[in-house]
Structure 1
Amino acid sequence: MSEFRQSPAPQEEHPSLFGAADRDLEFTEADFDKIRTLIYQRAGLVLASHKREMAYSRLAKRLRLHGMRRFSDYLTRLDQHPESPEWEAFTNALTTNLTSFFREAHHFSLLAEHVKQATSPVRIWCAAASTGEEPYSLAITLSQALGSRASQAQILATDIDTDALDKARKGIYALDQLEKVSEACRRQFFLRGSGARAGMAKIRPELASMIDFQSLNLTSGSWVAKGPFDAIFCRNVMIYFDKETQARILERFAPLLKPDGLLFTGHSENFSYLTQRFKLRGQTVYELSR
């Protein structure tokens, strides 16, 4: 039996409610502070103070699903049941999944030139795979750069959001999501939907077979990611961590890279001052310090 059961409706006004007139669920400042604490403890994510509305709207769906009226009840029961499967839904709800095919295109051109020099099978880790656009972009890049050698390449694609990973594994996207994918690539690497699937495209099986999708929390004590990798893509996720967590993750990345391996980061991320293990190569690409 689930530990998430319906709570009695509140019987009186709560003095610390904010935005109460617009809400059907009781949500206090203390509740938001608790959410921020729990998601930091669970996933290392720093939830900024302006994310109140986002937290309410995303988690309200979970409360309604369980017939709850007060965030305090939901959060207390989460806290009391550390092994509950609801933790996965809680984390998924608060994870941001903004991605696209060939986002920051210069990274893929640089990667293509880098892997052409590889003498052993290429291995890439996409550490924030989200709904799949980035790892599939990597697979396309490797296929084009390596030719027949691409069949030996492996891409590990991880994310903390299991809902996003489920979508990624399916590899099905609306055609308007492929705007950065050339028509030649669409024909080569995608199957166009018809009938009920009209307006959709699916990754071809031979491309999908290059990728292993796995759930991974970058702040957890153990990782399924085992090196060495030719490159690690960890883009636009470290901005959600505090500096201490960023530095700790970077230290763990370093031994997983091959000596000439590359770390690709997001356009707004700068780690030069956080660790001595990496030095900036240029355009948000890092290499190991010698």
Structure 2
Amino acid sequence: MQKILNPLSIRLSDSEFQKLGHFIQSYNGIKMPLSKKTMLEVRLQKRLRELNISSFHEYSKLVFSAESSRTEVIKLMDCVSTNKTSFFREIIHFNYLQQHILPDFIRSNNNTLKVWSAGCSSGEEPYSIAIAINEFIRNNGILNYQILGTDISTKILQEAKDAVYTESEISNLSFEVKKRYFLKGKGDYQDLIMVKPAICNKILFQRFNLMDREYSVQGPFDLIFCRNVLIYFDRDVQENVIKKLCQKLKVGGYFFMGHSETIMGMKVPLKQMSPTIYKRI
């Protein structure tokens, strides 16, 4: 009979934490100081139980083994990724988009507006961008656009693709916006809502690691949102990531960061237009 493990009895030693933490930081850029040991231990205990593994030492061997490392590394990144987000988070960015960027674009450009949501989590950000663009289109005429949403977590990307949320997650949206862009569930799913296909069809989701040496995404983009992602990286890593993102951003394109993030002191080709909003130069 197979032994059933109690995941809470499996403890992560300092040495195993340092080994896994160093790998995680080198792979996805997330800082892993010793203060995150308990967090990592708790998040991985469930995974160890799924694998019927009795120690973090055994789990480390699995992660670093040639035959199963790629699959397990993806699972490991799913466990350590932080996915705090919401619809229209930091609303000032969407106001600036509608009041300044989109009017200029529609006056001077007949091309498709290309947007990259880098670190899109469960999809609220790219769907908010799409809704903001569609609200602008309702009053200002036709504008073609495409949005790319990327994240390192395959688990959270599937949630983004599913486009299903709870009523509470869209409680900050107006009745009119809810009616125009969401479908309400019925029966057992009456507390759930789904983004309408017309919006979903404008967004492509794919797995992507900001720590990759070269960025293979199809650019260049007119807008890049990379908000509340860089705060988890060391300063040098932040600057390196921003430089690579800028290589995929058109000259004159816009770069959005989270309000707790800054480029101050960095040698990057960006000019500040408004707090946490920059233009590529």
Asked if Structure 1 and Structure 2 have the same fold, meaning a TM-score greater than 0.5 normalized by the shorter chain, the answer is: yes
1:23 shift after superposition: 4.1
Contact 2:62 2:72 in 1 (8 A): no
- In structure 1, distance between residues paired with 2:142 and 2:34: 48
Q: Spell out, residue by residue over 1:118-177, the C-alpha distance to the aligned partner (whole angstroms, 9 max, x if none).
A: 112111100011000010000001111134524x21000000011000000010000000
**TM-score normalised per structure 1:** 0.88
Aligned residues: 270
Instruction: Select which of 31, 37, 45 maps to 2:22.
Output: 37
Gaps of 5+ in 1: 1-5, 10-21
Q: State the match for 1:80 in structure 2.
A: 65
- In structure 2, distance between residues paired with 1:146 and 1:256: 26
Q: Secondary structure at the match of 2:210?
A: coil
- In structure 1, distance between residues paired with 2:217 and 2:72: 25
- In structure 1, distance between residues paired with 2:102 and 2:249: 13
Identical counterparts, % of pairs:
31
Q: State the match for 2:33 in structure 1.
A: 48
Q: Spell out, residue by residue over 1:211-231, the C-alpha distance to the aligned partner (whole angstroms, 9 max, x if none).
A: 000110001123342222121
Matched, 1:149 2:134: no
Instruction: Select which of 107, 114, 121 maps to 2:93.
Output: 107
**Structure 2 letter corresponding to 1:117:** D
Q: Secondary structure at the match of 2:104?
A: coil
Instruction: Select which of 227, 230, 243 maps to 1:235.
Output: 227
Contact 2:115 2:222 in 1 (8 A): yes
Matched, 1:130 2:91: no
**TM-score normalised per structure 2:** 0.91
Instruction: Select which of 25, 43, 58 maps to 2:10.
Output: 25
Q: State the match for 1:202 in structure 2.
A: 194
1:66 shift after superposition: 1.1
**Structure 1 letter corresponding to 2:71:** P
- In structure 2, distance between residues paired with 1:222 and 1:149: 34
Structure with higher helix content: 2
- Over the aligned positions, Cα root-mean-square deviation in angstroms equals 1.9
Aligned pairs (5 A) from 1:1-290: 23-81=8-66, 83-113=69-99, 114-118=101-105, 119=109, 120-147=111-138, 149-150=142-143, 152-289=144-281
Q: Secondary structure at the match of 2:136?
A: helix
